[in-house]
Amino acid sequence: MAIFWRLLGFLRPHKVGVWASLLFAMAAMGFTVAIPALTGAVVTAIQDGDADKVRTFGLYILGAAFGRWILTVIRRLIAGRVSLGVEFDLRQRVYTHLQGLELGFFDRQQTGQLMSRATVDLQAVRFFLGYGLIFITQSALTIVFTAVAMFVIDPALAAVSLIPVPFVVWIAFRYGRIARPAQQEVQQRLAETTAEAEETIGGVRIVKAFAREDRQQARFEHAVSRVFAQSMYATRLRAFYQPLIGFLPQLGLALLLVVGGTQVINGSMSLGHFTAFYTYLVTLLGPMRMLGMALGMAQRAVASGARLFEILDREPRITTPAGAPPLPDGAGRVELRGVTLDFDPERGTAPALRDVDLTVEAGTTIALVGGTGSGKTSLVALLPRLYDPTAGAVLIDGADVREVDIDALRADIAVVDDDPFLFSATVRENIAYARPDATDEEIERAARRAQAAEFIERLPDGYDTRVGERGLTLSGGQRQRVAIARALLAEPRILVLDDATSAVDASTEQQIKLALREAMQGRTTFIIAHRLSTIALADEIAVLEDGELVCHGTHDELLEHNALYREIVEKGLPDQVFLNRKPAEPEVAGL
Ligand SMILES: Nc1ncnc2c1ncn2[C@@H]1O[C@H](COP(=O)(O)OP(=O)(O)OP(=O)(O)O)[C@@H](O)[C@H]1O
Ligand SMILES: [Mg+2]
Quote the percentage of the chain above a pLDDT of 90: 39
pLDDT at 474: 85
pLDDT confidence band for 573 (50 / 70 / 90): low
CA-proximal residue: ligand 1, atom 31 (nearest): 373
- Mean pLDDT check: name the lowest of 74-88, 93-107, 228-242, 533-547: 533-547
- Residue 120 identity (one-letter amino acid): V
Query: What angle (nearest 5°) sits at the alpha carbon of residue 100, between those of residues 379 and 204?
Result: 70
Q: What domains are there in the chain, each with its CATH number?
A: 2-312 (1.20.1560.10), 325-412+529-591 (3.40.50.300)
CA-proximal residue: ligand 1, atom 7 (nearest): 343
Residues with CB under 5 A from ligand 2 (ion): 377
Quote the percentage of the chain above a pLDDT of 70: 94
Q: What does the mean pLDDT of the chain come to?
A: 86
Judged against a pLDDT cut of 80, whether residue 78 lies above it is answered with yes
CA-proximal residue: ligand 1, atom 22 (nearest): 377
- Section 334-342 average pLDDT: 95
Q: What is the pTM of this model?
A: 0.76
SS3 letters across 41-95: HHHHHHHHCCHHHHHHHHHHHHHHHHHHHHHHHHHHHHHHHHHHHHHHHHHHHHH
Query: Between these two residues, 130 and 510, which has the higher pLDDT value?
Result: 130
* pLDDT 10s digits, 297-309: 787 788 889 988 9
pLDDT at 475: 82
pLDDT confidence band for 585 (50 / 70 / 90): very low
Contact 431, 486 (CB under 8 A): yes
- Section 378-390 average pLDDT: 95
CA-proximal residue: ligand 1, atom 17 (nearest): 377
User: With a 6 A CB cut-off, is 106 part of the ligand 1 pocket?
Assistant: no
User: With a 6 A CB cut-off, is 343 part of the ligand 1 pocket?
Assistant: yes
Q: Of 430, 495, 435, which Cα lies nearest the Cα of 468? A: 430
Query: Between these two residues, 531 and 194, which has the higher pLDDT value?
Result: 194
pLDDT at 467: 87
Distance linking the first and last C-alpha atoms of the chain: 63
pLDDT confidence band for 584 (50 / 70 / 90): very low
How far is Cα of residue 404 from the mean position of the Cα atoms in its chain? 28
pLDDT confidence band for 226 (50 / 70 / 90): very high
CA of 42 to the centre of ligand 1 (A): 82
DSSP 525: E
CA-proximal residue: ligand 1, atom 8 (nearest): 378
* pLDDT 10s digits, 11-64: 999 999 999 988 998 898 889 889 999 999 999 999 999 999 999 999 999 999
Judged against a pLDDT cut of 80, whether residue 570 lies above it is answered with no
How far is Cα of residue 149 from the mean position of the Cα atoms in its chain? 49
User: With a 6 A CB cut-off, is 377 part of the ligand 1 pocket?
Assistant: yes
| Spatial separation of the C-alpha atoms in residues 542 and 546, rounded to whole Å | 13
Judged against a pLDDT cut of 50, whether residue 578 lies above it is answered with no
Judged against a pLDDT cut of 70, whether residue 335 lies above it is answered with yes
User: With a 6 A CB cut-off, is 372 part of the ligand 1 pocket?
Assistant: yes
Instruction: Calculate the CA dihedral of residues 76, 78, 82, 87 and round it to 10 degrees.
Output: 60
CA of 373 to the centre of ligand 2 (A): 7
Which atom of ligand 1 is the closest one to the Cα of 344? 4
pLDDT at 292: 78
User: With a 6 A CB cut-off, is 373 part of the ligand 1 pocket?
Assistant: yes
Highest mean pLDDT range out of 71-80, 186-195, 465-474?
71-80
Judged against a pLDDT cut of 70, whether residue 274 lies above it is answered with yes
pLDDT at 515: 66
| Spatial separation of the C-alpha atoms in residues 252 and 158, rounded to whole Å | 10
pLDDT at 470: 59
What are the residues whose beta carbons fall under 8 Å from the beta carbon of 228, sequence distance 6 or more? none
Separation in Å, CA 543 to CA 373, 418, 474, 557, 581 = 13, 19, 33, 13, 22
* pLDDT 10s digits, 152-197: 988 988 988 888 888 887 888 788 767 767 877 888 888 889 888 8
Query: Between these two residues, 564 and 496, which has the higher pLDDT value?
Result: 496
Judged against a pLDDT cut of 60, whether residue 433 lies above it is answered with yes
- Residue 496 identity (one-letter amino acid): V
DSSP string covering 182-251, please? HHHHHHHHHHHHHHHHHHHHHTHHHHHHTT-HHHHHHHHHHHHHHHHHHHHHHHHHHHHHHHHHHHHHHH
DSSP string covering 266-287, please? HTSS-HHHHHHHHHHHHHHHHH
pLDDT confidence band for 262 (50 / 70 / 90): very high
CA-proximal residue: ligand 1, atom 9 (nearest): 378
CA-proximal residue: ligand 1, atom 29 (nearest): 373
Contact 465, 459 (CB under 8 A): yes
pLDDT confidence band for 134 (50 / 70 / 90): confident
Contact 494, 334 (CB under 8 A): yes
Closest listed ligand to the CA of 369: 1
| Residues paired with 394 in a beta bridge | 336
pLDDT at 579: 39
Judged against a pLDDT cut of 80, whether residue 289 lies above it is answered with no
pLDDT confidence band for 574 (50 / 70 / 90): very low
- Section 275-286 average pLDDT: 88
pLDDT confidence band for 589 (50 / 70 / 90): very low
Separation in Å, CA 442 to CA 435, 437, 447, 485, 514 = 10, 10, 9, 10, 19
User: With a 6 A CB cut-off, is 533 part of the ligand 1 pocket?
Assistant: no
Judged against a pLDDT cut of 90, whether residue 413 lies above it is answered with yes
pLDDT at 518: 65
Query: Between these two residues, 26 and 562, which has the higher pLDDT value?
Result: 26
Our mutation pick for probing the ligand 1 site, out of 108, 318, 342, 376, counting the most ligand atoms within 8 A of Cβ, is 376
pLDDT at 469: 64
Highest mean pLDDT range out of 46-60, 140-154, 199-213, 556-570?
46-60
pLDDT at 356: 96
473 CB-contact burial (10 Å; exposed 0-12 / middle 13-18 / buried 19+): middle
pLDDT confidence band for 513 (50 / 70 / 90): confident
Q: With H, G, I as helix, E, B as strand and everything else as coil, classify residue 368.
A: strand
pLDDT at 201: 87
pLDDT at 477: 81
Contact 241, 171 (CB under 8 A): yes
Return the CA Rg of the chain.
Answer: 36
Our mutation pick for probing the ligand 1 site, out of 343, 417, 527, 535, counting the most ligand atoms within 8 A of Cβ, is 343
pLDDT at 525: 92
